[in-house]
Amino acid sequence: MSGRLTPDVCIVGGGSAGLVVASGAAQLGLDVVLVERGLMGGDCLNFGCVPSKALIAAARAAQAQRSGAAFGIAPVEPAVDFDKVMDHVATVIAAIAPNDSVERFEKLGVRVLQDEARFVARNELQAGGHRILSKRIVLATGSRPALPPVPGLTEVPHFTNETIFANRTLPSHLVVLGGGPIGLEMAQAFRRLGARVTVLEAATCLAKDDPELSAIVLARLRAEGIDIREGTRVASVERADGGIAAVLEGGARIEGSHLLVAAGRIPNVEALDLDRAGIAHDRRGITVDDSLRTSNRNVWAIGDCNGRPAFTHMAGHQASLFIRGALFRAPAKLDPAIVPWATYTDPELAQVGAGEREARAKHGDGVRVLRWKFAENDRAQTEYETDGLVKVITDHRGRVLGAGIAGPQAGELIQTWCLAIAAGLKISTLAGFVPPYPTLGETAKRAAGSYYAARLFGPRTRGLVRFLARLPVW
């Protein structure tokens, strides 16, 4: 079927960002066309969050078998059937896939075109045999793995996130290029499943996170036997006996059975022919303003393709801002301060709002830094999960500017702080709520309470309470 379509909204890309716009706009009664050239669900479902977290869950189950001694349970080396582990990963993807399927979206009233889209005029796209003219075009084309310019890389076999979840052979020695979230989540998962793992990081691992917190994660990964080499530049890669070899600057050579490239992302823009539509872009992605509009007033760009922090919840949030701003004509501006990020290593690492360095640069000496260790938390003690720290940044009046957590379930625990920042809460509110005992969530109250500890138990308060104690009981 071919022809000319004139929908109210046309979306290019059926990943996390595009699907939220498509379902929202269709349920609001608009005529919606969605163009997807690959798999519905995009990276998150097929090559990203879902398979990586499923693999991490399997790896955690394996690690639990090694970790019973402290509980009086004899530790055993797990018998990992890697093929079955990958069956589990595929099962999880299949369980979630119907939510993102063509069938579901067609039932919602969306017209789904399974083709690649490109601009042929300012507000007009071509997709297969269709011409689509629309006053509201949403680009949600995502990103793909960047291949760093390492000599030999294109000639040697290597995995990226787009291929590693289809692999059915447990690497005997996985060499990972890049120590960002992808590299380290995969490094720990494969290590726990039985592989030897070496991470080669050109600069600093987890560089976007607070170094005080990322150090806690890196120490655990190293303790689990992952060889992490920071500040290591790879001069070239080549085939070696039954695998690959990375030749480091300086001449050292690291041989592995498999290579995973996790060295950052590049936006998917080339196929769109953006210049035909007057849409500015650079190597980071499609240029947008805070309302996510491009240099063409009829075109918005959301999700990974605009170069803002690349997370599924960020993509979903940007999609909801498009619906609010472009469809309801309500104020809708992206506020990066309310968007958290989490890395699902064990321990997890999560942050929201300003980090210590950023807060000090902006607010100067008035900044207060509060810390609470997981070792001070009774639930963490019962689970032997005491590695970790909650770190909270406030301004001089106690307004919460940011929070970071390295520790068990940090991705869950950061949510209290997300709410605090989104709602502009003061630290007194966090110090005053009542969490159930014994929970890891108590760390929030205790970290917040430490804001007052010096004053509460200081000489003035003690003097006041001593004076009040001398008065008759009332």
Ligand X SMILES: Cc1cc2nc3c(=O)[nH]c(=O)nc-3n(C[C@H](O)[C@H](O)[C@H](O)COP(=O)(O)OP(=O)(O)OC[C@H]3O[C@@H](n4cnc5c(N)ncnc54)[C@H](O)[C@@H]3O)c2cc1C
Q: 442 is in the binding site of which of ligand NAD, ligand X, none (Cβ under 5 to 8 A by kind)?
A: none
CB of 322 to ligand X, least distance (A): 12
Token pair listed for 329: 């004509």
Closer residue to ligand NAD, CB minimum distance, 119 or 417: 417
> Is 309 one of the binding residues for ligand NAD (CB under 6 A)?
yes
Tell me which residues touch ligand X (CB under 6 A).
12-18, 35-38, 42-44, 47-49, 52-53, 116-117, 140-142, 161, 182, 268, 271-272, 303-305, 310-313, 315, 344
Among 14, 41, 181, 325, binds ligand NAD (CB under 6 A): 181
User: Strand pairing partners for 228?
Assistant: 199
The listed partner (ligand X, ligand NAD, none) that binds 296, CB under 5 to 8 Å by sort, is none
Nearest-angstrom CA–CA distance, 379 and 356: 27
List Cβ neighbours of 167 (8 Å cut-off, separation of 6 or more): 86, 159, 258
Q: Tell whether omega for the bond before 149 is within 30 degrees of 0, i.e. cis.
A: no
Minimum distance from residue 262 beta carbon to ligand NAD (Å):
4
CB nearer to ligand NAD: pick between 177 and 193: 177
Is position 418 an interface residue for ligand NAD (rule: CB under 6 A)?
A: no
H/E segment holding residue 5: strand 3-5
180 binds, among ligand X, ligand NAD, none (CB under 5 to 8 A by kind): ligand NAD
Q: Nearer Cβ to ligand X, position 65 or 320?
A: 320
Q: Which two tokens stand for residue 252?
A: 């050292």
Name which of 340 and 402 has its Cβ closer to ligand X.
340
Q: Helix 442-456 crosses helix 459-470 at what angle (to 10 degrees)?
A: 80
Nearest residue to ligand NAD by CB is 180
CB of 118 within 8 A of CB of 112?
A: no
Q: How many CA atoms lie within 13 A of 462 on its CB side?
A: 6
Name which of 11 and 228 has its Cβ closer to ligand NAD.
228
Question: Least Å distance between CB 185 and ligand NAD?
Answer: 6
Options 263, 279, 302, 427; binder of ligand NAD; rule CB under 6 A: 263
Choosing from 47, 300, 311, 372, the residue that interacts with ligand NAD (CB under 6 A) is 311
Our finding on whether 341 is near ligand NAD (CB under 6 A) is yes
Q: Tell me which of 7, 180, 340, 408 binds ligand NAD, using CB under 6 A.
A: 180
* DSSP structure class, residue 326: I
The least distance separating ligand NAD from the CB of residue 74, rounded to whole angstroms, comes to 33
With contact defined as beta carbons under 8 Å apart, do 42 and 16 qualify? yes
CA atoms lying within 13 Å on the CB side of residue 237: 27
Give the list of residues 6+ apart from residue 344 with CB closer than 8 angstroms, or none: 52, 53, 56, 185, 411
Among 19, 177, 197, 315, indicate the residue that binds ligand NAD (CB under 6 A).
177
Q: Which two tokens stand for residue 188?
A: 């720990």
Nearest CA among 406, 403, 384, 401 for reference residue 392 = 403
Q: Please give the single-letter amino acid code of residue 210.
A: D
Query: For residue 344, what are its two tokens?
Result: 């699902």
The reply to whether 449 sits near ligand NAD by the rule CB under 6 A is no
Q: Which residues bind ligand NAD (CB under 6 A)?
A: 148, 150, 177-183, 185, 200-203, 207, 234, 262-265, 309-311, 341-344
